[in-house]
Amino acid sequence: MDKIYLNEMKFYGYHGVLPEENRLGQRFWVSIVLSLDLKNAGMSDDLHDTVSYADIFEDVKGIVEGRPFKLLEAVAESIAAVILSKYSKVHSAKIKIIKPDPPIPGHYNSVAVEIERGREIE
Domain boundaries, the chain: 2-118
Amino acid at 66: G
Considering the chain, what is the average pLDDT of its residues?
95
Catalytic pick from 3, 61, 89, 99? 99
Dump pLDDT digits (tens) for 54-113. Answer: 999 999 999 999 999 999 999 999 999 999 999 999 999 999 999 998 888 888 889 999
The strand order across the sheet containing 92-99 reads 2-13, 26-36, 92-99, 111-118
Asked if residue 11 has pLDDT above 70, the reply is: yes
Contact present, 58 and 52 (Cβ < 8 Å)? no
What is residue 78's predicted lDDT score, i.e. its pLDDT?
98
How far is the C-alpha of 8 from the C-alpha of 95, rounded, in Å? 11
The predicted model scores a pTM of 0.94
Tell me whether residue 99 is one of the annotated catalytic residues: yes
- Annotation: CATH topology of 2-118: GTP Cyclohydrolase I, domain 2 (3.30.1130)
